[in-house]
Amino acid sequence: MNTSLAPTDERAASLARVAERLLGATEATLESIDGGRNSRVYRLVTPRGAFALKTYFRHASDSRARMDTEFGALRFLWDQGERCVPRPIAAAADDDCAIYEWIDGDKIAEPAEAHIGAATAFLSRLHGLKNRPGAEGLRPASEACFSASALEECLRGRLEPLMARTDHAELAAFLRGQLIPALDSACARSRSLLGGAFVRELAHEHRTLSPSDFGFHNALRRPDGALVFLDLEYFGWDDPVKTICDFLLHPGMRVPAALKRSFSSSMLGEFPEAAGRMEALFPLFALKWCLILLNEFLPSHVLRRKFAGMSERDRESRETEQLAKARAMLRAAAETSPYGD
């Protein structure tokens, strides 16, 4: 399939016709709103009411079936009675788009203790669904790693294409002078702490269902205060340690340290076996976030940016900004506890 970039007016009109076919409606109109890094979202208005229409990025360099994953995950969750996620309405695989319930809500700029409670309760409910019919057919979450050795392999795989950017001296200096030594040290520490468990896969009973890219950056607060969790493109089976660490480390959220401690404490109450592995794996997940922040230097990431409607004009400044964030993440990782301190 050819790469699709940011939808034009003509593309939007085509999507409106697809929506009309899926809904059996007429006179559908689309209003473009902010999408994510890998998708574009429209408010779809029809005589039947408003919906969210989401189009997904697809390219030969990225094998992830984002639409299939998200629509399938939401359908599974709704079948199990979970209502803190958008209702899936219809999907068109050939057009890489799907229609969901429209959520009237606000972004969460300043998380509070009640939001932490809602987040941990949602993750706990997901864990409780792991043995329900249909769960066995769900895929692993995006980049799920069920051993420390698999996580190390993932990190070094992410590092390789960045090392190929020999034209960017500042990036190369950061990678060789700071990130690679930190990665080598963190892997050695993890091997020492875990022993034989470094290469042993996590037992199925200790795995969980996870949105993967989870946090308040992907949530809305309804007028009644209830939270709705969005963007399940990476949903699937995962290590709960990854879920906890990613929430604590995510650069797209500003969560006070006290609330991070509350989240960590609640999650370790749900997954008590995860405590020892968190101590060993937290630095590795921090390094993974450093590498994610540096995605801006990869050609494939530029294509996703274009698809989501972002301009390429500021690419150089974006690279500078992301490199600064990666440096900050590396410093913070050395000073931050896996328990939210």
Per residue in 94-126, pLDDT tens? Answer: 888 999 999 999 999 999 999 999 999 999 999
Mention every residue, 6+ apart, whose C-beta is less than 8 A from residue 188.
none
Instruction: Give the pLDDT confidence score for residue 2 in this predicted structure.
Output: 35
Instruction: Give the pLDDT confidence score for residue 83 in this predicted structure.
Output: 97
Instruction: Give the pLDDT confidence score for residue 37 in this predicted structure.
Output: 60
* Cα 161–Cα 155–Cα 157 angle in degrees, nearest 5: 40
User: Bridge-partner residues for 1, per DSSP?
Assistant: none
pLDDT at 269 over 80: yes
pLDDT at 160 over 80: yes
Amino acid at 175: L
CATH of domain 9-101: 3.30.200.20
Query: What is the band of 338 on the pLDDT scale with cuts at 50, 70, 90?
Result: confident
Instruction: Give the pLDDT confidence score for residue 5 in this predicted structure.
Output: 41
CATH topology of domain 113-335: Aminoglycoside 3'-phosphotransferase; Chain: A, domain 2 (3.90.1200)
Rg of the Cα atoms in the chain: 20
The domain spans of the chain are: 9-101, 113-335
Q: What are phi and psi for residue 45, nearest 5 degrees?
A: -110, 125
Report the predicted TM-score, pTM, of the whole model to 2 decimal places. 0.90
Give the residue-averaged pLDDT of 234-260.
95
Instruction: Give the pLDDT confidence score for residue 25 in this predicted structure.
Output: 83
| Secondary structure (H, E, C), 16-63 | HHHHHHHHCCCCCEEEEECCCCCEEEEEEEECCEEEEEEEECCECCEC
Placement of tokens 């390429």 in the chain: 312
Q: What percent of the chain has pLDDT over 90?
A: 74
Instruction: Give the pLDDT confidence score for residue 6 in this predicted structure.
Output: 45
pLDDT at 59 over 70: no
- Better-predicted residue by pLDDT, 300 or 150: 150
Half-sphere exposure of 31 (CA within 13 A, CB side): 7
pLDDT at 276 over 50: yes
Task: Pull the structure tokens for residue 38.
Answer: 């890998």
Instruction: Lowest mean pLDDT of 11-25, 160-174, 218-232, name the range.
Output: 11-25
